[in-house]
Amino acid sequence: MLMKHVRLLVLTEDLPQASLALAETQSFHPDTRPPTEMQLNELPGRAYRDTFSQAQSRLNKITRLLPLTATFERSAVRVVTFTELNTLNAQLGALWNDASRFEEEFRQLDDTERLIKEQLTALENFAHLNIDLSLLRNKTRFLAFHVGLVPRENLHQLEDAAQLAGYILLIYQQQTDQAQIIIVGPTENEALLAPVLAVAGFQNLPIPVELNRKPAELQQNLTEQRRVIAEQRLALHTRLNQWGEPFREQLQTAQHTLMLAEPLVTLDTALRSSGHLAHLAGWVPAPAVAQLKQRLTQSLTQPFDLASRDPLPDERKLVPTVPIKSRVLAPFALLVKQYGIPAYGEIDPTPLFAVTFLLMFGMMFGDLGHGAVIAGTAYWARHKIPDFYLFGVFAGASSMVFGLLFGSIFGYEEILPALWMSPLHDPILMLEVALVWGIIFIIVACALGIYNRLIIGDIKGAVFKRHGVINLLFYLAFLAGGYGLATTGAFGTFPSILAIVTLLMLAAFQWQHLHAPTGEKVLVVVIETLDTIIVYLSNTLSFLRVSAFSLNHVALALAIFTLAEMMGVFGHVVTLILGNIFILVLEGGIVMIQVMRLQYYEGFSRYFSGDGHAFTPLRLAK
Amino acid sequence: MSNAAAQAYLNTRVSVMSTRLFTPEFTERLAHLTLAELAEQFGLTALLDEQATTTARRRAIEQSLLQMLLIDLQILARLLPPAERAVLLAWARKYALFNLKTLIRGKLYALEQKAIRDHLFDLPATLRLPHQELFRAENVLELLRQLETSQYHQIARQAREVYEKQREPFALEAAIDQRYYSSIVRQIMGLDHHHLNALRRLMGAELDRVALLWLLRFRLTCQLSPSETYYQLVPSTRLLNRELLLRLVNFDTLERVLDALPASLNTLLAGSHDLSEVQRRMNQATHRDLHETLVRSQSGLARALAYLMLREANLQSLFIVVQGHLLQFSNTTIKTALELNDTSHSELRAAA
């Protein structure tokens, strides 16, 4: 789609309104380059953005505690002024200040529960210690005891530091990241040890007073404490909900306000101003410019200026590409996107990719039964993979169509009459078909590559660069010569001359554009020229795999039938089922990878740069 | 493939890069260069921005210099396998920790977000803290709780515990620094023998310097107890090991500490009367070791790290000069500051 570069000049106070109008049209992709006018060097949206970010963060933190479940109707679109945003931010700050106390209480409950769990573990360990544990609870006149937890990574350093203060450190349990320890030393050195324990993250582990009671009773006691904590957590939830109930409406309004403020924040990086004049630039699809101007005229009360122009040649890489909007092509577009996004002006390969992918997949995995399973499974999973299930349905359907042509159903070749023939009946013909298919594929790919270069004005590149016109002529000469060699036994004079001339032209072009010492230039040009011959030969032969896999599919099915024949009735059925699953999963996966490889390496590398970026217009959040 | 062959490209890159290091003559000349000359020579265009405030220019220059270092780091790190790359990143993580300290101080003293942001280093994704989330924290505890969910969770957890108990940034920052050096030592200890000894030696020199300076600072200046001082230290992999540190922290005067040092350090520091003199001499010795590693080490990784540490020191010298000029200090003051930061020129020459 043709794009226009637009430049909007508005009064700074009109920016929030302008941003909303632009967001409503959903056709404005911001251009973040600073304007050429040096005076436009202020960042009018920066303070607004910072306040918005803080308010949004506060709202997110509050709603993490108090989820907003009720849906709300989007009310009329209105401007959120900086003053309103500031007030909202302050209100949310005050709310979060209160809400964070609840969060802290939840965390304290978690910490207490963790400590009780540690105590339970400690209890088990104390039972094995052959000392009077009641002594550990209190300081004696001369000795002080510290029982507790310390992070394992601090253990050795703490052991040495405690030793310096005259204490002994004993480890009685080591867990994943914590160690349970006892530190014993003179009471008089407590002042020396305390700061070390503090920096080492030592956590005191209270020894149960009732140590002389039965372990089961103690355990019951600690379990009881955990139950109390669970109750406290429940009560805290209730308190939190009671506290939050009056604020729910306020929070929903805040959410709506922030949603309306978001467009201006998104525009921040593209905004520049000087005093009262603000500048905003972006990319708009050509057909949408008039609508954009109309919307701004309706929205803005103050004067504004909207200028549009075609993208300049050196701006091509900056122009976003509007993706093809088609539900059918959407899953194929996802696969194309893995390689890259079409640059502006470049042909979007998605439709061609979809057609060639399905043709190759179907031919390589042609089976009515297997195709139906793939299509059925994809349709069954449509709710789990809503963006991708159609891909499976189409691939399965293609497999089914080729299954009918080949007369193959779950590997059986005899049940269904073939509309064309089974691949194994004439493998040579299959290989020839694949070869012709590959030749057409490569020629079309080169032609598209040439077109893509011409469209951006790179005429020299379209003629001389790799996969350009000269390269294509060489390929055609190479093919003609190859055909002659196969049919008459001679390469032919004209193809030979054309191949040599085109190769020399390619070599001359490379020589001219290579900046290196003569020796290195000779080496590089010779290797590159040889590479051209080898690449085109190997790329063409690469398509033989299309027929090879169709033969492979039949051969694999035959192998499974042979195995099944060797079994009894039950074994026969099981082997057939497992064999078909094996074919579906393993061969299906391999075929998928092979087709992707052909598309990416033999196709995309010839005509698709993939270095564009997607059109992401400013819009109101949903 | 032999170790030498595997490291050939890295070694070549380090050798090429090390030609950028300041020569002793250049360092001597540095203090006399004007701001315009510095801007031209190092591409520091922000220096010439007359409209910006001194603070803004200083920050811009600091950021530019850091970017120079980070570009070198990225080039070298790209050439290394993951375990070795992790050592370089662990060393460079100090800048993320500077940011962490800035954030903590900012939250502690309730500074404006802009004031905090202005003092943060712009770092690549491999080193960066989750800034946006941390910014949005409303106080230190919330900040540290959030940090606990990031790659800095170990530091964050300990820092939070320290803060909850002591509520003062000194102990917290000491904990962060201690963690930083411990994590580097851990990374190094996980390497194979090709690099282990060279890196132990290299990092040992740095740890000797850090351990001695921290020991003197905590014990003599802050008057911490021997046990608390010891806990804050990171034992070196070279001279100031665990046993020695346990002994040294018991001394309460500079002379007694210096007397108890191993012979090589004792000779180096003989006659030092104050901490700044000790710092200057230890810096010299460390830089000498770094140069030696850069020139002679068999380990490409150790050479790369030595180069980065020296480059960092060079850029610090450059920043000192820029800052001195911006604050209109005299050349003598700038030279004194340079001496504290940099190594003795004659000794550097000898090492080279």
pLDDT per residue as tens digits for the range A448-504 = 999 988 888 888 889 988 889 999 999 999 999 999 998 888 888 999 999 999 999
| Alpha carbon distance A14, B337 (integer Å) | 52
Residue B72 has pLDDT above 70, yes or no: yes
To the nearest 10°, the Cα dihedral for A488, A490, A494, A499? Answer: 120
- Is the Cβ pair A198, B162 closer than 8 Å? yes
- What is the share, in percent, of chain A residues with pLDDT greater than 90? 25
- Domain shared by A362 and A409, yes or no: yes
Domain boundary among A320, A336, A356: A320
Half-sphere exposure of B145 toward its Cβ, with a 13 Å CA cutoff?
Answer: 13
What is the signed CA dihedral for A71, A76, A77, A80, rounded to 10 degrees? Answer: -90
| Residues 72-131 in B contacting A (C-alpha not used; CB under 8 Å) | 113-114
Residue A100 shares a structural domain with residue A248: yes
Tell whether A157 and A184 lie within a shared domain.
yes
In a domain, A15, yes or no: yes
For residue A96, which residues of chain B lie inside 8 Å, CB to CB? 138
CATH code for the domain of A285:
3.30.70.120
Higher pLDDT, A44 or A564: A564
Question: Which contiguous run of DSSP H or E holds residue A147?
Answer: strand A143-151
H or E segment at A389?
helix A389-406
**Beta-carbon contacts below 8 Å between A and B:** 73
Whole-number Å distance between alpha carbons of A486 and A431: 15
How close does chain A come to B107, measured CA to CA in Å?
Answer: 14
Mean pLDDT of chain A: 86
Find chain A residues with C-beta within 8 A of B166's C-beta: 198-199
Whether A577 is in a domain gets the answer yes
How far apart, in whole angstroms, are the C-alpha atoms of residue B177 and residue B179? 5
B156 interfacial to chain A (CB closer than 8 Å): no
Does one domain contain both A180 and A154?
yes
Q: Residue B126: helix, strand or coil by DSSP?
A: coil
Q: Is residue A212 part of a domain?
A: no
Lowest model confidence (mean pLDDT) among A15-29, A464-478, B220-234, B251-265 = A15-29
Residues A252, A296 within the same domain: no
- Grade residue A403 by pLDDT with cuts at 50, 70 and 90: very high
The rounded percent of chain A whose pLDDT value lies above 70 is 93
Using CA atoms, how far apart are residues A456 and A274, in angstroms rounded to an integer? 36
Judgement on whether residues A355 and A282 belong to the same structural domain of the protein: no
Interval B276-298 mean pLDDT:
90
Domain CATH number, residue A195:
3.30.70.2750
Long-range contacts of B277-282 (CB under 8 A, 24+ apart): B278/B212, B278/B213, B278/B216, B278/B254, B279/B213, B279/B340, B280/B339, B280/B340, B282/B208, B282/B209, B282/B212, B282/B213
Two structure tokens written together for B270: 């003989």
At A154 the three-state DSSP class reads: helix
Of residues A386 and A70, which shows the higher confidence score?
A386
pLDDT of residue B352 exceeding 60, the answer is no
Residue A94 located in a structural domain: yes
pLDDT above 50: residue A548: yes
pLDDT band of B348, cuts 50, 70, 90: very low
Preferred mutation among B227, B241, B246, B250 to probe A, highest tally of A CBs within 10 A? B227
pLDDT band at residue B3, thresholds of 50, 70 and 90?
Answer: low
Residues A313 and A420 in one domain: no
- Does the beta-carbon distance from A50 to B246 stay under 8 Å? no
Tell me which residue of B149, B170, B146, B144 sits closest to B159, measured CA to CA. B144
**Domain shared by A154 and A197, yes or no:** yes
Domain span at residue A259 reads 44-126+222-264
Interatomic CA distance for residues A117 and A106, integer angstroms: 17
Same domain for A331 and A390, yes or no, is: yes
- pLDDT tens digits, A116-157: 887 777 777 666 665 566 666 656 667 888 888 888 888 888
List of chain A residues whose C-beta atoms are within 8 Å of the C-beta of residue B162: 198-199, 201
Q: Which residue has the higher pLDDT, A45 or B290?
A: B290
Contacts of B165 in chain A (CB under 8 A): 198
User: Helices A427-455 & A469-487, crossing angle to 10 degrees?
Assistant: 160
Residue A54 tokens, joined: 């803080």
Beta bridge partners of A273: A42, A278
**What is the per-residue pLDDT for A374?**
94
Is residue A446 included in any domain, yes or no? no
Neighbouring C-alpha atoms within 13 Å toward the C-beta of A611: 7
Predicted confidence band of residue B344 (pLDDT cuts 50, 70, 90) = very low
Q: Per the domain annotation, does A542 fall within a domain?
A: no
Can you read off the two tokens belonging to residue A141?
Answer: 């006149």
Tell me the shortest Cα–Cα distance from B6 to chain A, in angstroms: 25
> What are the pLDDT digits (tens) for A323-375?
888 888 989 998 998 888 888 888 888 999 999 999 999 999 999 999 999 99
Same domain, A345 and A412: yes
Contacts of B141 in chain A (CB under 8 A): 104
Mark yes or no for CB contact A199/B175 under 8 Å: yes
Task: Provide the pLDDT for residue B346.
Answer: 39
| DSSP states along A493-559 | HHHHHHHHHHHHHHHHHHHHH--S-HHHHHHHHHHHHHHHHHHHHHHHHHTHHHHHHHHHHHHHHHH
Which residue in chain B is spatially nearest to A201 when comparing CA positions? B161
Residue B212 scores a pLDDT above 90: yes
CA angle A254, A260, A264 (to 5 degrees): 125
- A residues 99-118 lying closer than 8 A (beta carbon) to B: 100, 104, 107
- pLDDT surpassing 70 at residue A75: no
Closest partner CB to B161 (pick from A97, A163, A201): A201
Q: Do the domain assignments include residue A414? A: yes
CB contact under 8 A, B231 and A157: yes
What is the average pLDDT across A294-303? 86
**Total tally of structural domains belonging to chain A:** 4
pLDDT confidence of residue A358: 94
Query: What distance lies between CA A573 and its chain's CA centroid?
Result: 42
Inform me whether the pLDDT recorded for A428 exceeds 60.
yes
Q: Taking a contact as any Cβ pair under 8 Å apart, which residues of chain B between 246 and 265 contact chain A?
A: 246, 249-250
* pLDDT, mean of residues B114-119: 82
- Of A284, A305, A320, the domain-final residue: A320
pLDDT at residue B347 in the model: 40
> Chain A 40-59, CB below 8 Å of chain B: which residues?
50, 53-54, 57-58
Tell me if B227 and A161 make a contact (CB, 8 A cut-off): yes
Test B227 with A199 for CB contact under 8 angstroms. no
Tell me the ipTM for this assembly.
0.81
Q: Is A541 a residue whose pLDDT tops 80?
A: yes
Same domain flag for A238 and A91: yes
- Cβ–Cβ under 8 Å, residues A411 and A367: yes
Would you call B262 helix, strand, or coil by DSSP?
coil
Q: Do A165 and B113 touch (CB under 8 A)?
A: no
Say if A119 falls within a structural domain. yes
Q: Are A372 and A355 in contact (CB under 8 A)?
A: no
**What mean pLDDT comes out for the span A29-43?**
77
Which residue from A minimizes the CA distance to B230?
Answer: A161
For B277-287, the pLDDT digits (tens) are 899 899 889 98
If asked whether residues A350 and A419 sit together in one domain, one would say yes
Strands (DSSP E) contained in chain B are none
A590: how many CB neighbours lie within 10 A of its CB?
14
